[in-house]
Structure 1
Amino acid sequence: MDWPVSVALAQAVQTLPIGADLHYEIKVDGHRLAMWRDKETVRLQTRSGRDVTSVWMDLAVAGMQLPAEVILDGEGIVYVDGRIDFGAAQSRANSTPARARRLAGLHPAHYAVFDVLHHPEHGDTRGWPYVRRRELLEHLLEEYGIGPPIQAVPTTTDVDLARTWYDVLQDQGVEGLVIKVGSSTYRGGTRQWRKLRHAETVDAKVVGFTGPAARPRHLAVRLSGGRIRLSQALKAPLAAQVSQLLQGAPPGRRAWTTAGEPYDAVDTDVMVEVLSGTTRHAVVTVTRLR
């Protein structure tokens, strides 16, 4: 399998899907990471394909317990005072390697794994159905005695239990649920899964920006129905995150939003969360990168 791997995505839904062959996973609030166990080391990549091993080095060290040629999909999370803290994970992701080491000393990272994409005996497992991949993942962790900070996310086919998770675990930093079809294969780059979240946000694709790419002021995002809107002014930490992705994109052309505001168009796969209550207006509020 070639680096980086294209990861599967989820489409937001407003109500909990119910039906045959549905599996419900806890959705933790962290940073999406694929873990590659090579022959001599471990590498970690983001959803967009960036190598971020240097800022998640404690997870890379933990991943050395895995056999060579394993590739896992999951979320890097950080606990603060017994609760999953997205802000702490975001701080880690935006750190320099030196600062990341200091943060790891205060709040070590954990890896909430939910899929296995490659296995030393079976090769590429993305064509397997979800239920078979899940069984392989659980067997792998048990066979090699893998425990925290690497741990499989809970999953169930019991819709009542899933509702209970959704209702009572929010205070622990659980963002919601991810719903997967048991017979489904792993299709990177597609929104094949569904997600039900507590936060009233929607996903939007970044199609451009205003200001310099090294310090974007606003993002142009495509909303449902194809509308293009400008975001509110980006705060410095979010602008710094976005700039790392924009500067690697090919130069774009001048374009205009649905309301007529100019922006520099850019072709990326960058997605952001925006507050759903702001999408009816000319300016939307971006909460974070996805």
Structure 2
Amino acid sequence: MRPALAQAVPRIPDGHGWWYEPKFDGHRTILRRTEETVILYARSGRVVTSHWMDLAVAAMQLPPGTTLDGEAVIWKDGRIDFAAAQSRAASGITRARALAAQRPASYLAWDVLEHPNQGQVTALPYTQRRQLLVDLLHDIPPPIQAVPATDDRDIAAAWYEGLQEQGIEGIVAKKGAAPYPLGRRAWLKVRHADTEDALVVGYLGPRRRPHRLALAIGDEGGPIRLSARLDPVLAGRIGEALTAAEALGERRAEGETYTRVDGYLTVEVLAGSGRHGTLTVTRMR
């Protein structure tokens, strides 16, 4: 299943039928409980179970036939620490397990895609899926929890204004009557940071410490743009994440040659930074 995506908007939408959820600053993760085990997938479909083994163990409490959509996050000193989640996701198996022992992860679920009794439920309205999710997780203890949700815009605005210090980066709005939008940008997101997502489809320079990135803004399919030169620390982190990417030969964009890779890594770029020049990468997603 291709996970649903959200389109950035400047303000929280108003009107009949909207539901709102806090937007947590972590790693998008699909969690699937099979008859025998638990498998976790990144947004790209890449299996990331070994990076989040503590969540896989906790999810064994779920009934087989359950697939959830949500966010893997790490709490530190009462707030969500994206850098800690980023380090975990970019680590090798041994280091990921060591980091899990130091700071266990939490899984914040906002949707159910497959239900143990009803099978695939993506065609159901959001409100029905939300009730299924709440009922499903009612007796499941942390670290697996359902995210808060409300149909009151005033409450959503209070979350947006009051929870930033806890690591809540914004609000996601969804139509209550809508099915799960597989692979489409049907949800809306309002973020404090003026950034947008870009898919890494290649790099310039050495793989371990790339100088620049080849990027598809939003999703693969649009014109490929080249980033500005990366900050050295950020380049090292991205280089670690790129070690597992499959090289697909050389391509050209904006008059330069880059090494094409299997796109699964997402970064944030400053919104609008690519209008008259190269894109400025702020961090990995």
The TM-score with structure 1 as length reference comes to 0.88
Residue from 263, 268, 273 that aligns with 1:273: 268
Whole-angstrom CA distance in 2 between matches of 1:43 and 1:220: 30
Structure 2 match to 1:112? 108
Structure 2 match to 1:124? 120
Identical aligned residues as a percent: 52
Aligned-pair distance for 1:146?
0.6
RMSD, aligned α-carbons:
2.1
**SS where residue 283 of structure 1 aligns?**
coil
Q: Per the alignment, do residues 53 and 268 of structure 1 end up closer, same or farther by CA in structure 2, a change over 3 Å counting? A: closer
Structure 2 match to 1:85? 81
Q: Any gaps of 5 or more consecutive residues in structure 2?
A: none
Alignment partner of 1:236 is 2:236: yes
Aligned-pair distance for 1:181?
0.7
Alignment partner of 1:19 is 2:19: no
Aligned-pair distance for 1:55?
1.5
Amino acid at match of 2:177: S
Residue from 57, 60, 66 that aligns with 2:62: 66
Contact in 1 for aligned 2:61/2:140 (Cα 8 Å): yes
Aligned-pair distance for 1:19?
1.5
Whole-angstrom CA distance in 2 between matches of 1:136 and 1:256: 46
Contact in 2 for aligned 1:252/1:266 (Cα 8 Å): no
Whole-angstrom CA distance in 2 between matches of 1:61 and 1:244: 24
Structure 2 match to 1:200? 194
Structure 2 match to 1:56? 52
Alignment partner of 1:221 is 2:215: yes
Q: Per the alignment, do residues 147 and 267 of structure 1 end up closer, same or farther by CA in structure 2, a change over 3 Å counting? A: closer
Amino acid at match of 1:40: E
Amino acid at match of 1:287: T
Aligned-pair distance for 1:157?
0.7
Amino acid at match of 1:256: A
Whole-angstrom CA distance in 1 between matches of 2:37 and 2:78: 30
Structure 1 match to 2:177? 183
Whole-angstrom CA distance in 2 between matches of 1:167 and 1:236: 34
Contact in 1 for aligned 2:250/2:257 (Cα 8 Å): no
Whole-angstrom CA distance in 2 between matches of 1:221 and 1:56: 26
Amino acid at match of 1:237: R
Alignment partner of 1:30 is 2:13: no
Write the deviation string for residues 101-131 of structure 1: whole angstroms up to 9, x where unpaired.
2212221100000000001210000111111
Contact in 1 for aligned 2:51/2:97 (Cα 8 Å): yes
Whole-angstrom CA distance in 2 between matches of 1:222 and 1:64: 36
Whole-angstrom CA distance in 2 between matches of 1:256 and 1:100: 35
Structure 1 match to 2:39? 43
Whole-angstrom CA distance in 2 between matches of 1:54 and 1:223: 28
Amino acid at match of 1:166: Y
Whole-angstrom CA distance in 2 between matches of 1:110 and 1:207: 29
Contact in 1 for aligned 2:46/2:264 (Cα 8 Å): no
Whole-angstrom CA distance in 1 between matches of 2:58 and 2:201: 37
Alignment partner of 1:282 is 2:282: no
Whole-angstrom CA distance in 1 between matches of 2:155 and 2:126: 20
Aligned-pair distance for 1:223?
4.9
Contact in 1 for aligned 2:209/2:238 (Cα 8 Å): no
Structure 2 match to 1:256? 253
Write the deviation string for residues 201-222 of structure 1: whole angstroms up to 9, x where unpaired.
0223445432355654311234
Structure 1 match to 2:164? 170
Whole-angstrom CA distance in 2 between matches of 1:105 and 1:227: 42
Q: Per the alignment, do residues 84 and 210 of structure 1 end up closer, same or farther by CA in structure 2, a change over 3 Å counting? A: same
Whole-angstrom CA distance in 1 between matches of 2:239 and 2:141: 36
Aligned-pair distance for 1:133?
0.3
Amino acid at match of 2:119: G
Whole-angstrom CA distance in 1 between matches of 2:243 and 2:190: 29
**SS where residue 272 of structure 1 aligns?**
strand
Aligned-pair distance for 1:10?
0.7
Q: Per the alignment, do residues 6 and 277 of structure 1 end up closer, same or farther by CA in structure 2, a change over 3 Å counting? A: closer
